[in-house]
């Protein structure tokens, strides 16, 4: 085992670990009065870790040289692509957090908490390990590191009943999902004799036994909880609504990328030789998520709860690319994931701008009634984002759905694609409802407060990305996604 080479491969993780430990001590000694400094240093560490990814992303890295610590981790092009999205999402969520915690929405715990940024760093570290896992032990280590930080983040407003309830629900259901995943891993170990992905894949060659099939089902079930795919979505609306809005924005982006990337790696690198065994399961989760996410959002009045169902709906479209089972599908899935992250970050940034003069945050349809009259810039930004989420051309959200549907049709799953396209029309209803309420209803006049510069920058940047200008990014984005997807299929 070449330790110097292994440490070089995990340089971003080492940086995040060091930064997290140092900032933890700074937070303990300095308290909340250093919270903004801790946040700035956390963002700097994430930028530094992201900068380390650039050479590998540009040139592509694959093969045996990407394995670290005796094949426990695999730092290939796919892992680098996922890490880049995770780091960018975490940076955006750290930038948008201070204004929320300094507002009246934070209640009796008004003010930025120093440990918030530290928890984000450790959660991101867990996600980095997840997407680079090449062994079920590494997978579980990264997953739990991320989950433990996420449980605390959801309930970080200790005096807020909704936040405490969100954290408890997330913890109980997350523990259940972890148990299911761990049981599935133990079954696969028992029936294949190994925990590394290569050994398990070799042990699954040929006709699967009943025990191996149950192991596959349990592992996919545990991972489905982490990506909030139907029928393991039940925690999402309650946790999204109850958690502080910056935490909700974080949950809908970075952990979603990590969980989707981990699921994709496990499906292709571990179960890749048993396509018939997992493809039907993924197809069901994809279609069920699209339909349930669309129907469940129709009657929602709380905007955060609606975006939770939107997240479930979008997971369905992401899983379409996974269900195809070929490099083109995986590439389309990664393209869609990038576009979804931009749309989700912009949507939550806009929600954080819906505040009154006293700093109170508003989050229902009644509150944004006539928003185009009182705050036209926010209304137009939301219009771009909602139309993009609905997949209306020429916005970039349309391109994301197009490449996924194209890969599905080219793989011969025409009926599957037709059902998904028909279901996507249902989802357009509640996105267009945003526009109807903001532009055609009588003004409620409650959103009158000023928004911070960070929120304006995030809203403007994400609106520009999803606008037709975003198509300028597609050649580079497609090239990176193709390299990342190709690395998944180089299994020895």
Question: Where residue 103 falls among pLDDT bands split at 50, 70, 90?
Answer: low
Q: Residue 334: its pLDDT value, please?
A: 92
SS (H, E, C) 251-279: HCCHHHHHHHHHHHHHHHHHCCCCHHHHH
Which residue, among 176, 127, 131, 128, has the nearest Cα to 153 in the 3D structure? 127
Q: Look at the block and give the residue holding tokens 């192991």.
A: 215
Tokens of 4: 């110097």
pLDDT at 107 over 70: no
pLDDT tens digits, one per residue of 157-213? 877 788 888 888 888 888 888 899 999 999 999 988 888 888 888 888 878 888 888
Rounded CA-CA distance 391/162 in Å is: 32
Q: Name the phi and psi angles at 351, rounded to 5.
A: -60, -35
Q: What is the 3-state secondary structure (H, E, C) of 437-473?
A: HHHHCCCCCCCCCCCCHHHHHHHHHHHHHHCHHHHHH
Residue 141, class by beta-carbon neighbours within 10 Å (0-12 exposed, 13-18 middle, 19+ buried)? middle
Least confident residue range of 37-41, 251-255, 443-447: 443-447
Q: What per-residue confidence (pLDDT) applies to 91?
A: 94
Q: Can you list the pairs that 467-472 forms with residues at least 24 positions away whose Cβ atoms lie under 8 Å?
A: 467/384, 467/395, 467/396, 468/394, 468/395, 468/396, 470/339, 470/342, 470/395, 470/396, 470/399, 471/394, 471/396, 471/399
The two structure tokens encoding residue 432: 């267009």
How much of the chain, in percent, has pLDDT values that exceed 90?
24
Model pLDDT for residues 136-162, shown as the tens digit of each residue: 999 999 999 999 998 988 888 877 788
Counting residues of the chain whose pLDDT is more than 70, the rounded percentage is: 97
pLDDT value, residue 264 = 92
Give the mean pLDDT of 393-417: 87
The H-or-E segment that residue 195 falls in is none
Kindly report the backbone phi and psi dihedral angles of residue 328, in degrees, each rounded to the nearest multiple of 5, phi listed first: -65, -40
Q: Whole-angstrom Cα distance, residue 164 to residue 419?
A: 39
- Token couple for 30: 């300095």
Interhelix angle 254-265/210-227, rounded to 10 degrees, is 160
Q: What is the DSSP letter of 68?
A: E
H helix intervals, 102-228: 114-131, 136-154, 161-192, 197-203, 210-227
Instruction: Determine the average pLDDT of the residues in 110-117.
Output: 79
Q: What is the pLDDT of residue 81?
A: 92
**Beta carbons of 270 and 202 less than 8 angstroms apart:** no
Cα→Cα distances 171→30, 144, 147, 469, Å? 29, 11, 8, 41
Query: What does the pLDDT read at residue 105?
Result: 54
List, in order, residues 6 or more apart from 122 with CB less than 8 Å away.
20, 145, 149
pLDDT computed for residue 22 by the predictor:
93
Using alpha carbons, list the distances in angstroms from residue 47 to 15, 81, 491.
Answer: 11, 15, 31
Residues ≥6 apart with Cβ < 8 Å to 144:
126, 178
pLDDT at 129 over 90: yes
pLDDT category of residue 230 using cuts at 50, 70 and 90: confident
SS3 state of residue 10: coil
The reported pLDDT for the residue numbered 193 is 84
Q: What is the DSSP string of 268-320?
A: IIISTT-HHHHHHHHHHHHHHHHHHHHHHHHT--BHHHHHHHHHHHHHHHHHH
Tens digit of pLDDT for each residue in 306-339? 888 988 989 999 998 888 888 888 899 999 999 9
245/170 Cα distance (integer angstroms): 15
Q: Taking 70 as the threshold, does the pLDDT of residue 375 lie above it?
A: yes
Q: Tens digits of per-residue pLDDT, 31-57? A: 778 888 999 999 999 999 999 988 887
pLDDT of res. 451: 77
Domain ranges across the chain: 3-488
Structure tokens at 341: 């992250």
pLDDT of residue 111: 63
Mean predicted lDDT score pLDDT of the chain:
86
Rounded mean pLDDT of 362-391?
86
Query: In the beta sheet, which residues pair with residue 302?
Result: 364
59, with CB counted inside 10 A (0-12, 13-18, 19+), is: exposed
Tell me if residue 132 falls in helix, strand or coil: coil
> What's the pLDDT band for 84 if we cut at 50, 70, 90?
very high
| Mean pLDDT, residues 240-264 taken together | 90
pLDDT of residue 41: 93
Can you tell me the distance from the alpha carbon of 165 to that of 163, in angstroms, rounded to the nearest whole number? 5
Confidence at residue 492, expressed as pLDDT on a 0 to 100 scale: 52
Token pair belonging to 336: 């869609």
Least confident of 176-190, 239-253, 280-294, 348-362: 348-362
Using a 10 angstrom Cβ sphere, with 0-12 exposed, 13-18 middle and 19 or more buried, the burial of residue 276 is exposed
CA dihedral (69, 66, 74, 483) in degrees, to 10, reads 180
Q: What pTM value is reported for the model?
A: 0.92
d(CA 35, CA 111): 9
CA 264 to chain centre: 13
Sequence-separated (6 or more) residues with CB below 8 Å from residue 113 = 32, 35, 101, 156
């Amino acid at each position: 085992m070449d330790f110097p080479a292994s440490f070089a491969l995990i340089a971003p993780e080492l940086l995040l670990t060091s930064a997290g430990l140092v900032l933890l001590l700074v937070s303990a000694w300095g308290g909340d009065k250093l919270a903004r400094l801790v946040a700035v240093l956390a963002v700097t560490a994430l930028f530094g870790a992201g900068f380390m990814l650039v050479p590998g992303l540009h040139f592509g890295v694959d093969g045996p040289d990407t394995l670290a610590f005796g094949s426990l981790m695999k730092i290939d092009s796919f892992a680098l692509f996922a890490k880049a999205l995770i780091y960018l999402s975490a940076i955006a969520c750290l930038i948008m957090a201070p204004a929320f915690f300094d507002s009246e929405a934070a209640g009796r715990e008004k003010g930025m908490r120093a440990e918030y940024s530290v928890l984000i760093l450790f959660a991101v570290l867990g996600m980095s390990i997840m997407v680079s896992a090449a062994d079920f032990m590494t997978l579980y280590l990264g997953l739990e590191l991320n989950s433990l930080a996420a449980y605390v983040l959801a309930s970080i407003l200790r005096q807020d009943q909704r936040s405490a309830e969100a954290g408890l629900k997330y913890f109980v259901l997350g523990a259940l999902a972890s148990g299911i995943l761990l049981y599935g891993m133990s079954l696969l170990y028992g029936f294949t004799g190994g925990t590394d992905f290569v050994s398990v894949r070799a042990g699954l060659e040929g006709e699967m036994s009943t025990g191996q099939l149950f192991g596959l089902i349990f592992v996919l079930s545990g991972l489905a909880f982490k990506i909030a795919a139907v029928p393991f979505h039940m925690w999402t609306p309650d946790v999204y609504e109850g958690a502080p809005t910056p935490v909700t924005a974080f949950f809908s982006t970075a952990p979603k990328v990590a969980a989707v990337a981990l699921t994709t790696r496990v499906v292709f690198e571990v179960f890749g030789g048993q396509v018939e065994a997992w493809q039907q399961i993924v197809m069901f989760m994809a279609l069920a998520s699209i339909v349930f996410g669309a129907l469940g959002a129709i009657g929602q009045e709380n905007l955060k709860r609606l975006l939770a169902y939107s997240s479930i709906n979008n997971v369905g479209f992401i899983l379409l690319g996974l269900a195809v089972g070929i490099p083109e599908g995986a590439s389309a899935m990664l393209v869609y994931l990038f576009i979804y992250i931009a749309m989700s970050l912009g949507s939550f940034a806009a929600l954080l701008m819906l505040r009154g003069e006293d700093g109170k945050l508003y989050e229902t349809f009644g509150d944004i009634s006539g928003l185009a009259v009182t705050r036209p810039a926010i209304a137009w930004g939301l219009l771009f984002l909602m139309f993009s989420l609905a997949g209306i051309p020429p916005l970039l959200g349309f391109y994301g759905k197009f490449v996924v549907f194209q890969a599905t049709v080219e793989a011969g799953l025409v009926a599957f694609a037709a059902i998904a396209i028909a279901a996507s029309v249902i989802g357009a209803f509640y996105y267009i409802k945003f526009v109807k309420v903001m532009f055609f209803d009588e003004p409620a006049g409650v959103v009158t407060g000023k928004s911070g510069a960070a929120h304006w920058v995030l809203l403007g940047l994400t609106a520009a990305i999803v606008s037709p200008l975003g198509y300028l990014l597609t050649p580079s984005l497609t090239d990176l996604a193709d390299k990342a997807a190709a690395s998944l299929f180089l299994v020895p």
